[in-house]
Structure 1
Amino acid sequence: MTQSISKQHSKQLPSPKVKAPFDVDEYLNPFIPRNPLYLLPTWLSYWFGYRAPNSAPTHSPSNHALHNLTLYASIMIGTFCGLAIIENVFLALPPLSGHAVPIIVASFGAAAVLEYNTIESPLSQPRNLIFGHFLSATVAVGITKLFEHLPPNRFDELRWLAGALAVGVASMLMSFTKTVHPPAGATALLAATNVEIQVLGWWLLPLVLLAASLMLASALILNNAAGRRFPVYWWTPVDLKALRAERRQGSLAKQDQDAEKGTTSGPSSEGEGISDADTEAGSHVGDLRKVETGVSRSSMPNLTMARTTSYSAGSRVPHGQSHDQDGQEKDERIVITKDSITVPDWFEASDWEDEVLRILMERLRSRSSE
């Protein structure tokens, strides 16, 4: 995984290079189209979670008790309406290939808790909701179909194995595609172990897509109507525009180095696929940044983004320090401001940690604009 947050440079012995884990977004992000929400009128894009940079918050939490009451009421109403909509739509559907449509896929009860309670979590964003359920249902139905080739009695004996295998493979696939959504694991389990869901076969896929779409639509309306921002992002919290600029700078620096060596290199294909995109989270170039492997920070002087935050010895917190093998002090703090995220050189953030830090920075920015 490439490090996507700025670094503090502390004096310490060079450590051996650790190969970054696979990150599918390194290959997908160059082809992600521009987020078109900024083109819509403000009153319309608001309902899709878009907030203009430096826009004022929709409500002020001056009355803390009233704010909490409003929040809890919106969670209850949203969860109720989200599930009621799905149930009534499913009840209105005709039988599918002779199989009755269930009143609801039970895993969407857990999904409703995520979509109305933890709306800032990466697990609750549209990418995870839609693709998590769909991929899990696809894997589970496929595995169950293979087990159904066994004699009926034998299949019933091994239904537990089909369920465990379906959830295991679905979990691995969600992790690989960065679409982890815990309730989707229940979708996979139900497809293998619940007879009412199992008999639907491949019909489960359109039902899951329909339910996820209905829940997303209700969450967009009800969460934003309550003054909360949902979603925080649609595909990724990474600033695709900044990513494109950094890749271009890295490509130019590489061409300059090749020219000095008397060699020529063609235009890099890394930056060509990235459009002049607005940030997925709706922020400036200086915000949510992602630095790709092999791109030198020193070769990008024209970018407006803050690269490094250093601290004098007097400004450091004593209990937040430790020493390296040379006895030099090194800072162990993570600093989040509305414009940047700074971590020590030795700190390697996982995908989950990286997205959480970005979301916290977005919240600081929205509060500072009050």
Structure 2
Amino acid sequence: MANPKPSSLMPGTPIGGYRVIRRVAAGGFGVVYLAAGDDGQQVAIKEYLPASLVSRAPGQLQPQISPEKLSLYRLGLKSFFEEGRSLAQISHPSVVSVLNFFRENETVYMVTNFLEGASLQDFIVTARNLRQAKVFRESTIRSLFDEVLRGLRIVHQHKMLHLDIKPANVFITDDNKAVLIDFGAAREVLSKEGNFIRPMYTPGFAAPEMYRRDTTMGPWTDIYAIGACMFACMHGFPPSDAPQRAPEDKTLNTLKRLQGVYSDDLLEIVHWCMELDPQKRPQTVFALQKELNRTGARRYTQLTVGDKVKLQFDSVMTSTKKTVLMVTQIGKNF
């Protein structure tokens, strides 16, 4: 039987000069709360609370860690704290703003500005359900990811990697700003150092090198995830998980079916970002930005009538199967 997940802090709990209002979200590595400071300003507070390493009963403040898991817990704690310290030095509208970070209750809390809006994941699901040829317009995809890449470029300039870029971690605010949230440094450290049965990555968006211990990660690792996010914006569903792509790459087949719907230029960029070989991808965000913003006429494959009929037939035949298989995995895959 699986161990129960550690309980979240109760509403009204005081921590670090803030008071918890309610839990907003919880994952395998922490809990996010809506809280308010003494001045009444609402903030988001993320608590380091890896569910695989700790337990906590309702009403308790401190997580309980067994002795054999203590060293790994502290390793992730250190990484989480350093991530907060590094993010606090970044000021960019496309990167979540860290206002404060502190130790309390034998764990660490990261305080960020509270964003109102919805995630890119929510927009993808809504747009996909409209069942139109294009999930998002190409101009929307290009402008959205140009904004995201501006923030990611600053992150990389600070010698940081995001390591968990996915539609759920691209937040679209009510004033139409795209913001990168929920960095994965602690997740990465625990995945590499711990003996976990399942990898701690989001299937479809994690680069293949994230599943191996003998390869180097870098900006190209985040760039793979950017390509996967663009793929999801065009197709409506996540791409195949990287380790499953090698035998028969269904991702490439899907991109081919999108010819004529999106420009060849954009499809080539997505393919470039999602190369399984890290050295074949853009090595820097700047290189990717340069191609994404290249001016000039966009090339479209001219489909024959037969091609169009075949694509429509394939879409009808597979839509029901995809919906059954993929919708049941939306929470896990995103």
TM-score (norm 1): 0.24
TM-score (norm 2): 0.26
- Flag the structure with more relative contact order, 1 or 2, with Cα contacts below 8 A and sequence separation at least 6: 1
Higher strand share: 2
Higher helix share: 1
| Higher alpha-carbon Rg | 1
